[in-house]
Structure 1
Amino acid sequence: MVAFGKKLKARQIQEWQAYYINYKLMKKKVKQYAHQIEVGTLERRHVLKDFSRMLDNQIEKIVLFLLEQQGLLASKLAKLREQHDTLEQQPEISQITELREGYRVVGYDLLKLLYFVEMNAIGLRKILKKFDKRFRYRFTDYYVKSRANHPYSQLQQVFKHVGLGAVVGAVSRNLHELQDCQGSYLSIYDPPALPLQDPVVDSIKAAVDRLTHSTNFLNFMAQHALIMQEELPAPAEEQIDEERYHYVSLLLNLANTFLYMVNTYIIVPTADNYSMSLGAAATVCGIVIGAMAVAQVFSSVYFSAWSNRSYFRPLVFSSIVLFVGNAMYALAYDLNSLTMLLLGRLFCGFGSARAVNRRYISDCVPLKIRMQASAGFVSASALGMACGPALAGILQINFKIYKLTFNAMTLPGWVMAVAWLVYLIWLWFSFKEPSRDVEENNSPHASDSETAEKNTLEKGLKQPLLITSEEQQEDDEDAEADGSEEVSQESRRPATSIASAYRLLTPSVKVQLLIYFMLKYAMEILLSESSVVTTYYFSWSTSTVAVFLACLGLTVLPVNIVVGSYISNMFEDRQILLASEIMVFVGILLSFHVIIPYSVPQYVCSGLIMFVSAEVLEGVNLSLLSRVMSSRLSRGTYNGGLLSTEAGTIARVIADATITMAGFLGQSQLLNITLLPSLLICVISIAATCFTYNSLY
């Protein structure tokens, strides 16, 4: 990997190089400021004034060039419009084709200009972030707020592409009009008309979406997968790697994701009855359910490492282990062995290949459909979560074949064993191992957000401008030797262990991982103890519990549609994050059994509030996590996806252990005792979010 400055320079359009932000100069200036402040030759107030002036000059250079290019594009469009008007009088197919190509040429020029704006916006955000990190000072708060809200703002030209929208609209509208016009002159012997959406228009819209960070349902769903996109816009020819992409292999990865989530939740409605049938307490279901998560803590690491070398072999191994684990789970009933039951679930956890599924999408799916594939990954997980309990509710039959018992408790194991066997056969004959030629180059990078913060300059001046010697370091991707442009190999290298990955975590990242831990803990408490709690308070049958859990799972996609299509377009991610945390807190609070008799409406409503809020929270949490996380954590074995998976898995393990331990105090105390840690962790996460709120941009 190369440093951000070199990467930025490599992506620049050669004839426009003089008009890009001078990232290298500004980075050196930040180092110079640090030295001058340290020796006492420069006051911090002068640093802020000088750096602001330098940024203003850089932005003005970019904006004036941008306006000049917009004028050239507008002039070309005006000439094309004249030809278009003439053509309407005497239309000819050859002239229509020529005119359409003319608009396409303008479209590609516009695409270059959008890339120019995007790279400058990223460079500006990076240097602001570097300044804040180097001096531990909220300079971005002051600079963006004071410049972006000014009536003569030049910053808006960079961050909001003011004026380019009209050019985008003109190119798009005229190309569509010409396509319709051409269609009128095609005979039945001619090839089919072009699709309504022209490829250049698709590329332009994708660039505009990235530039404005516009959010839609697919974007919001894809964020749940924590599959991070390229930090810098790639040229069109670099954006597709068709040789590594195989549609059926992608389907097999999504099928693996779906089946694993079904496997996780299919036992939840019956785990308490199964435990009691083997002579254990009902609350031992916590250990039975959590055993899978315990093994997943370890399997996530070795599957992530294995995916560096192969995708096919770990998926085969996963399928075999899951087949064996489910068979052991089902056989435990006839063997009357709680140990066999737990070992079966441990085997299932050791077969968790979610790290491989995520890595395949990241490395082998072209950028043009990676967002859809990521959304498919999340949708498969959500569908599996809903189908698991629903399937358990259907399997309410009882019969024997020889000495094998098939009932509501063992059938989930047998059904999943057969499902994994069928999947293994499909995998063996259909999966195509991608070539490993280009591995690291396809690793996505986290991108930063551009949202302005709310601190003032005066407030910032009261904070220390320099940080301690231990903390004084460059951004991971930009660290450089003294006086040298070369980046140290150590600073570019992916994390090589959990410990080295942890050292890369900033306070903002740690808070986001804490929030992820909290929401997974709260959801696991709700789901895993649902059968025990509802049986004790309401005498629900297994089928009723299964319907309740399936209904919770079915809310995932509709909620994400609403949030992704509407709410996230009206509010910042950090605002949604804090509001969702508060709603999770409300849901937990309403779940407690106090003086009044515990009722079904109270349990269902509080559970729904908690679950839906946690789902909303997960999307924005992972979105922010990808933005504030070091780019070194976007690649390698110990990446950001692995860290979030580990945080969520550990949360599930602790939650399930809490249920079992609370069971020793009796089922009457189970609900309140298990909710107390959820409430405490939720309060801590809300406080931590408020503490780091201004760094979530």
Structure 2
Amino acid sequence: MFSLNLLSFLWGLPIEVLISERKERCYYYYQFTDISLSMVGYGKKLRELQIQEWKGYYINYKLMKKKVKRYGELMEVGAQNRHNVLRDFCMLLDNQIEKIVLFLLEQQGVLAHKLSDIGQEHHTLFQQPNSLNISELQEAYRGVGRDLLRLLNFLEMNAVGLRKILKKFDKRFGYKFTDYYVKTRANHPYSQLRQVFRHVGIGAVVGVLSHGLADLQDLQQCQGSYISIYDQPSYTHQDPVLDSIKEAVGRLSNSTNYLQFLGRHAFIMQEELPSPSEDHVVEERYNFMSLLLNLANTFLYMVNTYIIVPTADNYTLSLGAAASVCGVVLGTMAVAQVFSSVYFSAWSNRSYLRPLVFSSIVLLVGNTLYALAFDMNSIVVLLMGRLFCGLGSARAVNRRYISDCVPLKLRMQASAGFVSASALGMACGPALACLLQTNFRIYRFTMNQDTLPGWVMAFAWLLYLLWLWICFKEPAHDNQGNLVLYQADTGPAVHVAVENEHTQPLLTNSEAKELEEDGEEENDDSEETKKPVTSIVVAYKLLTPSVKVQLFVYFMLKYAMEVVLAESSLITEYYFIWTTSNVSIFLACLGLTVLPVNIVVGNYISNMFEERQVLLTSEIMVCIGLLLSFHIMIPYTVTQYVGSALITFVSAEVLEGVNLSLLSKMMSSRLSRGTFNGGLLSTEAGTLARVIADGTITISGYFSESKLLNTTLLPALLICISSIVATCYSYNSLY
């Protein structure tokens, strides 16, 4: 039993606080210089961030919110029917989109005219090169680039506003409106909605800028080759303003590269309109070695999870249990992870080092128990060891660290690193098991293929614990004591941060009065605030039907993957008499497909098709893979098993990326942080799927090992078909 002193260290609280009742702690991420944009919802943020001379061309978010509320009141008293409400709101939204699109076209014309004028000077320059004129022209091109960035910012804010108002309408009246609106507007050949989300014509402007700057740089270096980006696509010159434009275009068009697509698997939700000052706070917390330790924790935990898969059935047989009990051995870890994800997520509100230390200690104990079970001849000790391993799952801490302590400019790379570490660990676990095919004794301890995974991982966690203790730098956490309540003379109470014990009013009287006048609007917009969710019930209430469908899809893909991986040793031994080494190599090869598949999907497929199209296609491919896995009449062959498993696993990997990407867009921004965040919900859905899949394997194997394959695949197939039907039903709301 831990002493109070150890608990005091781990939780970072005085002993007196541990003895007294627990007090709820709230952590705020606002600086007093931030104008508290996040505190008052999207409507206020839009007014603060918009370009003032374009003020009249932005989406009138405030008007539409009031309309939504008014529609609700009228329908409650029976003064309006649903058809009239939909027609009226469609007309209002059409007018708003038309206003945005016409202004967009007008500004594109302005940019085209500027580029035409610069182009004439550019042509003249070729006749009489002059270094001064080259510099002036480069700056002129960059000026157009900066104007284009402003236009892209305008587009992005309006795109976010459209998504939010559609979500708000669905929340009030049911998600059928988005389904209808997207189906009739986005799929129409003259769609103006697509102009906002696909920004037709922007690419032409970017092309002229890229071509012009490349030509000028070539001329400035006196190369005389007049490089064309069209004739030589491998040309590497890239101006900083073009990098910024490319990033902005990518956010709008959902265009991806390998790192972006891979990073989505981490499901680290971000604010749609992040605050620059908030990112400054994050930069102060960032430490590369601490990030590396987080990724190492992720890697080791995935190795720990999959290193026993090839030998779990033999281990249970050696302890006198049925081979199918390996499902319980694997599932025990997943069951514990259901609970560990919650308390580690809550713990990371206070600290990152202490939960990682606790996790390493628990995993060290768990792997030691797992290894000792053989000499103790106890299946109970074996299960206790895996239970401890599940209780030490700190993936929630790893995600929170990346979300809270890695700057926005590095977050995508860190997210991709998180997923890469997981994939590498998934492949290395079985591969390492393949190398541990030996049998000897050290004193009274048996070292064989069953116990060595436990001993190796216990030693690895001991080394990691020492490395963690020496090198991890605990980032500064916001302190609740630094918050006071400021009461404006005529406005509402507002929380502000205090520096040097001096309070500074966040809002002037006139601004506070404006907030008071808009109080009804901002209070109604509580979904868009950064107030963290305090319970799983509140988190569930924030889930729209479309989000629930996507969580179900995530459940399905994790169920299918667990069935393929967890029963592989049983199936291959029964049908093909594979050795442990064969199973290990097969599982390692499956794990190694993760990164190459994501390269293809991230760089090509996701840029050619919409995410919802890739989502539905991937679900169908998972279904096909499961169908091909069934053993019906004809002899079961290695080709059939390996081919169907590969189709199922790879399709599920592709599905995971687009599924989590869509979830991050559709989930409430309140689920981006706090204990009960979107990452926790997805983790719980996936872990629950693993628990049920492992339980199904054990129950099916108990009745008949010859029927194990079909009886485990049947529920997976039914769940997959159900997810396809649900996706088709909500297809037009996935926008």
- The bucket for the TM-score relative to the shorter chain is 0.7 to 0.9
Gaps of 5+ in 1: 186-194, 440-479
Deviation at 1:377, TM superposition (A): 1.4
TM-score normalized with structure 1 length: 0.86
- Structure 1 distance, partners of 2:524, 2:327, is 48
- Structure 2 distance, partners of 1:106, 1:569, is 26
2:301 is the counterpart of 1:260: yes
TM-score normalized with structure 2 length: 0.82
1:176–1:124 distance in 2 versus 1, CA, 3 Å: same
- Structure 2 distance, partners of 1:481, 1:536, is 72
Contact 1:513 1:644 in 2 (8 A): yes
Residue identity in the other structure for 1:232: L
2:263 is aligned to 222
Deviation at 1:46, TM superposition (A): 4.7
1:270 is aligned to 311
Question: Which of the residues 681, 689, 701 maps onto 1:663?
Answer: 701
- Structure 1 distance, partners of 2:443, 2:151, is 73
- Structure 2 distance, partners of 1:137, 1:425, is 51
Contact 1:330 1:414 in 2 (8 A): yes
1:613 is aligned to 651
1:423 is aligned to 464
Contact 1:314 1:356 in 2 (8 A): yes
2:732 is aligned to 694
CA deviation vs aligned residue, 1:587-613 (integer Å, no higher than 9, x gap): 222322333332222222222222122
CA deviation vs aligned residue, 1:151-182 (integer Å, no higher than 9, x gap): 76544442322333222222233333333444
- Structure 1 distance, partners of 2:122, 2:281, is 33
Residue identity in the other structure for 1:420: W
Deviation at 1:304, TM superposition (A): 0.8
| Alignment map for 1:520-539 (pairs within 5 Å) | 520-539=558-577
- Structure 2 distance, partners of 1:577, 1:614, is 10
1:161 is aligned to 199
Question: Which of the residues 519, 523, 526 maps onto 1:487?
Answer: 523
Contact 2:270 2:672 in 1 (8 A): no
Question: Which of the residues 599, 623, 629 maps onto 1:561?
Answer: 599
Question: Which of the residues 627, 638, 642 maps onto 2:665?
Answer: 627
- Structure 2 distance, partners of 1:543, 1:483, is 66
Residue identity in the other structure for 2:338: V
Residue identity in the other structure for 1:594: I
Cα RMSD, aligned residues only: 2.9
2:285 is the counterpart of 1:285: no
Contact 1:21 1:123 in 2 (8 A): yes
1:337–1:650 distance in 2 versus 1, CA, 3 Å: same
| Alignment map for 1:68-217 (pairs within 5 Å) | 68-136=106-174, 138-140=176-178, 143-144=181-182, 147=185, 154-184=192-222, 196-217=237-258
1:578–1:66 distance in 2 versus 1, CA, 3 Å: closer
SS in 2 for 1:511: helix
Deviation at 1:145, TM superposition (A): 5.3
CA deviation vs aligned residue, 1:397-435 (integer Å, no higher than 9, x gap): 222222222111111111112222222222223222223
CA deviation vs aligned residue, 1:476-522 (integer Å, no higher than 9, x gap): xxxx9998233169654332122221222222222222221122122
- Structure 1 distance, partners of 2:648, 2:151, is 45
SS in 2 for 1:206: helix
Deviates most, 292-301 or 625-634: 625-634
1:54–1:299 distance in 2 versus 1, CA, 3 Å: same
- Structure 2 distance, partners of 1:589, 1:570, is 28
1:62–1:237 distance in 2 versus 1, CA, 3 Å: farther
- Structure 1 distance, partners of 2:210, 2:612, is 33
| Alignment map for 1:416-455 (pairs within 5 Å) | 416-437=457-478
1:80–1:271 distance in 2 versus 1, CA, 3 Å: same
Deviation at 1:48, TM superposition (A): 4.3
Deviation at 1:95, TM superposition (A): 4.4
SS in 2 for 1:228: coil
Question: Which of the residues 621, 638, 641 maps onto 2:679?
Answer: 641
Deviation at 1:645, TM superposition (A): 0.5
SS in 2 for 1:433: coil
SS in 2 for 1:174: helix
Contact 1:115 1:233 in 2 (8 A): no
Deviation at 1:40, TM superposition (A): 5.0
1:410 is aligned to 451
Question: Which of the residues 521, 525, 542 maps onto 1:504?
Answer: 542
Residue identity in the other structure for 2:325: V
SS in 2 for 1:405: strand
Gaps of 5+ in 2: 1-38, 224-235, 481-515
2:491 is aligned to none
Contact 2:269 2:679 in 1 (8 A): no
1:147–1:329 distance in 2 versus 1, CA, 3 Å: closer
Question: Which of the residues 657, 672, 676 maps onto 2:710?
Answer: 672
SS in 1 for 2:522: coil
- Structure 1 distance, partners of 2:599, 2:471, is 33
1:76–1:235 distance in 2 versus 1, CA, 3 Å: farther
1:603–1:259 distance in 2 versus 1, CA, 3 Å: same
1:170–1:233 distance in 2 versus 1, CA, 3 Å: farther
1:315–1:98 distance in 2 versus 1, CA, 3 Å: farther
1:320–1:176 distance in 2 versus 1, CA, 3 Å: farther
SS in 2 for 1:496: coil
2:393 is aligned to 352
- Structure 2 distance, partners of 1:585, 1:137, is 27
Residue identity in the other structure for 1:390: A
Count of matched residue pairs: 649
| Alignment map for 1:4-15 (pairs within 5 Å) | 4-15=42-53
- Structure 2 distance, partners of 1:152, 1:608, is 41
2:411 is the counterpart of 1:370: yes
CA deviation vs aligned residue, 1:414-461 (integer Å, no higher than 9, x gap): 11122222222222232222233499xxxxxxxxxxxxxxxxxxxxxx
Residue identity in the other structure for 2:658: V
SS in 1 for 2:521: coil
Contact 1:239 1:368 in 2 (8 A): no
CA deviation vs aligned residue, 1:267-286 (integer Å, no higher than 9, x gap): 01111111122222211211
2:428 is the counterpart of 1:390: no
Contact 2:171 2:544 in 1 (8 A): no
Residue identity in the other structure for 1:574: R
Contact 1:117 1:158 in 2 (8 A): yes
Contact 1:658 1:674 in 2 (8 A): yes
Question: Which of the residues 654, 679, 683 maps onto 2:721?
Answer: 683
